[in-house]
Amino acid sequence: MSLKNSYVTSDYLEWDSMLSLVRKLYRDQEYRLSLLIGCGSFFGLRISDLLTLTWSMLLDNEKFVITEQKTGKRREIRVNCNFQKHIADCYKSLGVVDKNEKCFLSRKRTVYSTQRINVLFKSMKSKYNLKIEHFSTHSMRKTFGRQVVEAAGENSEFALIKLSELFNHADIQTTRRYLGLRSQELLETYDMLNF
């Protein structure tokens, strides 16, 4: 929770840092957290939708469909074939026997709360020395968006259009602001001056 009258927004992780974190969490036998960071960054879903995922949804097909809790809209997600191996590895390492089980269960066998995950993220930031100022559950969605734009290169405007639709934003300007692209572009104006 942020302080009253303060402006705090989540930041994104650099893609390589996210992949490194996923691997380190897996190495440290934090399989569910490794999977959570991966799913959030590869699917671009809000935490409320991530917490509804079951093993069957992730393992049985190359894609799955959810109805977003916030918007009520239907969304089809394709599971990246390289990432699917990590999902299977987590499934096997956890010894899951029921594919209909939710993926993100705590040690108490209840689905993690968003608040608990944010506490875990705070300790993760410290433990793994992550270079991110505001690390929260929403950081994964922003990591997804930033990587899509950066991977598009010269086609970044087209990528913004696609992201705008995926994120259900009113227009691409909203998506730009959401990803911090607009403020980054404005701040670069200061770097154009010579002394």
| pLDDT digits 0-9 by tens, 69-106 | 998 888 999 999 999 999 999 999 999 999 999 999 99
**63-95-66 Cα angle (round to 5):** 25
pTM for the complete prediction?
A: 0.85
pLDDT at 176 over 80: yes
Structural domains for the chain:
15-191 (1.10.443.10)
Give the helix, strand, coil percentages of the chain, each rounded to 5: 55, 5, 35
Listing DSSP states for 133-186 in one string gives SS--HHHHHHHHHHHHHHHHGGGHHHHHHHHHHHTT-SSHHHHHHHTTHHHHHH
Q: Which of 31, 42, 28 lies closest to 96 in space, CA to CA?
A: 31
| Interval 105-157: pLDDT, tens | 998 999 999 999 999 999 999 999 999 999 999 999 999 999 998 888 888 88
User: How many CB atoms are located within 10 Å of the residue 72 CB?
Assistant: 7
Given a cut of 50, is residue 163 above it in pLDDT? yes
